[in-house]
Amino acid sequence: MDKAEEILCVINSQSKIQGKDWAKSAEFKSRSLAATFMEEPFTVVEVQKALKRLSNGKSCGFGKISAECLKKATRTVDGKEINMLVFHLHTLFEHIRSTGDFPAQFEVSALTPIHKKGDVRDMGNYRGLAVGSALAKMYAFLLENRLSLWG
């Protein structure tokens, strides 16, 4: 079996539509649009939505920048409240997306052991709580939004 036949077998196993007709299907067109969307630049609106998804009252993690700090960097212009960081965050996230230059700081989390119950000397009675960067979480929200469209 050559590579093309292998790919067709995988496609057929994932779809009710068999063979070459799959390329004409609505499912194929939908996935193609989603794949194209994955390559599109992030929009400022997507960044605003990711910012709104950050939870308030959480620990700020390694970067020491809280969600509240990011959310409250606002100014009123012509009676409308505008977040002054959104355009800068958009530039940062678009740079990461387009270059693949993922900041090492996004990979760092503070890990705290939390005792569940039982003997405090038994390590099996603990769970880890990882607190990461709010900026890394925003980037994850952007990717999650795009991937959820994939299907």
Asked whether residue 121 is assigned to any structural domain, the reply reads: no
Is residue 112 a part of any domain in this protein? no
Residue 56 lies in a domain: yes
**One domain, residues 69 and 21:** no
Give dist(CA 52, CA 34) in Å, integer.
23
Domain containing 32 equals 1-39
pLDDT, tens digit (0-9, with 9 covering 90-100), for 83-142: 999 999 999 999 999 999 999 998 888 888 999 999 999 999 999 988 899 999 999 999
Are residues 83 and 146 part of one domain?
A: yes
Return the closest-CA partner of residue 62 out of 113, 112, 115, 114: 112
* The pLDDT of residue 61: 77
From start to end of the chain, where are the E strands? 74-77, 80-83, 110-115, 126-131
Regarding whether 55 and 31 lie in a shared domain, the answer is no
Whether the predicted pLDDT of 17 surpasses 70: no
Query: Where does the pLDDT of residue 13 fall: very low under 50, low under 70, confident under 90, or very high at 90 and above?
Result: low
Distance CA 130, CA 5 (A): 44
Give the model confidence (pLDDT) of 24-71 as tens digits: 666 666 666 656 777 889 999 999 999 999 999 988 877 789 999 999
Q: Which of 91, 102, 95 is nearest to 44 (CA)?
A: 91
